[in-house]
Amino acid sequence: MNKYLIKLANHLDKKGLHKEADYVDWIMKRANPMMSLMEQPEASGYDTNLQSLSDKAEEDNKTVPLNSLNNAYTRIQFVYNINKEAIKQLKAMKEREGNEVYYTEELGATLSGVNRFVLSDGRLRPLPNSSMLENELSRQSDAIKIDEVIKIIENYQMYMQEKTIPKLSLLLGRRKPEGPMNENISRMYDAGFSPLK
């Protein structure tokens, strides 16, 4: 179910409906509290007070950019975890069937949701549907080399870890509001985002 909601949020982002995509993210977070890194501060590197600060975002506009970018970080972490699971399943498939396979429903299901996020013009952008790995491989009539697919997904992971997260942290620092604010909120802006796990 979450894979489909992620796909919906990505689709809405591509259509320019960013507010609606954020709402889908909010629904996912509320429906599955385990998905929210704000409720797992040890996983995100955030202060344990973030959730209560998030709940007061409308009262204190100093947390609005923080919450917005933390939602982006949550989406990146979720896709990162989907990619990790896909790599694990592909390795198991390689052990069972060898390195060369033809596209099947099982392979399609394994690759469903695999993506890479890019931070462009201050917006988090997934790969377009036509460029998604699952779509590209489903059109391929030749045998698919699992090692090559794993390498592509590992490159997605490396890109998000080494490019997207540092850019997101810089953006967080630039969006820090002026003026006095709660010390915990200030520290969160200054700390940036921890590496993906």
Q: Is 144 helix (H, G, I), strand (E, B) or coil?
A: strand
Please report the pLDDT score of residue 130 as a whole number. 60
Ranges under pLDDT 50 in the chain: 33-49, 51, 53, 55, 57-59
Query: pLDDT digit string (tens) for 136-166?
Result: 888 888 999 999 999 999 999 999 999 999 9
- Helix, strand, coil share of the chain (percent; to 5): 70, 5, 25
Please report the pLDDT score of residue 38 as a whole number. 40
What values do phi and psi take at 139, rounded to 5? -90, -5
Q: Which among 117, 115, 89 has a CA at the least distance from the CA of 104?
A: 89
Q: How far apart are CA 96 and CA 28, in angstroms?
A: 34
What residue segments make up the domains of the chain, in order of their start? 2-191
Q: How far apart are CA 164 and CA 183, in angstroms?
A: 26
Q: Which among 129, 115, 132, 195 has a CA at the least distance from the CA of 163?
A: 195
Q: How far apart are CA 120 and CA 196, in angstroms?
A: 19
Instruction: Identify the sign of the CA torsion 173, 176, 178, 179.
Output: negative
Residue 185: both structure tokens together: 């909120």
Please report the pLDDT score of residue 31 as a whole number. 61
